[in-house]
Chains A and B, each alone.
Chain A
Amino acid sequence: QKEVEQDPGPLSVPEGAIVSLNCTYSNSAFQYFMWYRQYSRKGPELLMYTYSSGNKEDGRFTAQVDKSSKYISLFIRDSQPSDSATYLCAMSGDMRFGAGTRLTVKP
């Protein structure tokens, strides 16, 4: 079993839709939870990070952590074609990444 599980998709949605991306993890020692966005042929860039259970909002993006269920989510509101990318969850102490979900937002 992988430490971090993430559905690789692909996920295709129409512009304006609410997108939900999810990861589960098995290691309860993970303390920090991050979401990275990776455009094609580029390196990942940090989008958001959270520490405690609950929600953290940044513009159209909301990160949610449920430590009791070992489940994290990223919500994108009013999705735009420019949001089309691969989204990777990551967990720390040790940096462990999910497989990444490829998202396409169609105009």
Chain B
Amino acid sequence: GAGVSQSPSNKVTEKGKDVELRCDPISGHTALYWYRQSLGQGLEFLIYFQGNSAPDKSGLPSDRFSAERTGGSVSTLTIQRTQQEDSAVYLCASRPGTGVVDTQYFGPGTRLTVL
């Protein structure tokens, strides 16, 4: 079956512009996560959705970052007024439910470059 998909795969933008990154989770997965991966920094947790609500948004680095999820499915991560330090790979993952050991399935990521 289809895995987690993300779009675009690559995004180059100018400093100060807004960007939207999209995640399509595996159908039926209730939990959805956004992470940021910078070189040598590992995966930095950004936000977690359970259904359409976000019980944990503690990882969002600033108020320029926001995310929403609609219909318990697609999620969009928006970065306003992008800065060069926002350049990274943004990964989305989904998992079936709330079980702690449910496997997270990752998408291929969106590589964001802010010039």
Q: Which residues of A contact B (CB under 8 A)?
A: 4, 6, 8, 31-32, 41-46, 49, 51, 88, 90, 92-100
Minimum C-beta distance from A19 to chain B (A): 19
B56 within 8 A of A: yes
B25 within 8 A of A: no
**Interface pair A95/B104, CB less than 8 Å apart:** yes
Query: From B31, which residue of chain A is reached at the shortest CB distance?
Result: A95
Q: Which residues of B contact A (CB under 8 A)?
A: 4, 33, 35, 40-45, 48, 56, 91, 93, 100-101, 103-104, 106-109
Of B100, B104, B109, the residue contacting A46 (CB under 8 A) is: B104
**Interface pair A41/B103, CB less than 8 Å apart:** no
Query: From A44, which residue of chain B is reached at the shortest CB distance?
Result: B106
Contacts of B43 in A (CB 8 A): 44, 88, 90, 97, 100
Query: From A97, which residue of chain B is reached at the shortest CB distance?
Result: B43
Assuming the contacts A32-B101, A43-B4, asked whether A99 and B107 have C-beta atoms less than 8 A apart, the reply is: no
Q: In the bound complex, what is the Cα–Cα distance between A31 and B104 (angstroms)? A: 16
A-B contact count (CB 8 A): 49
**Interface pair A43/B93, CB less than 8 Å apart:** yes
Q: In the bound complex, what is the Cα–Cα distance between A96 and B43 (angstroms)? A: 8
Assuming the contacts A43-B93, A97-B35, asked whether A6 and B106 have C-beta atoms less than 8 A apart, the reply is: no
| Interface CB pairs A-B, < 8 A, 13 | A6-B42, A41-B109, A42-B108, A43-B4, A43-B109, A45-B106, A88-B42, A94-B45, A95-B33, A95-B48, A97-B44, A98-B42, A99-B41
Pick the 7 closest A-B CB pairs, nearest first: A43-B106, A99-B42, A97-B43, A46-B103, A97-B42, A8-B40, A44-B106
Contacts of A8 in B (CB 8 A): 40, 42
**Interface pair B91/A43, CB less than 8 Å apart:** yes
Q: In the bound complex, what is the Cα–Cα distance between A84 and B37 (angstroms)? A: 19
Contacts of B45 in A (CB 8 A): 94-97
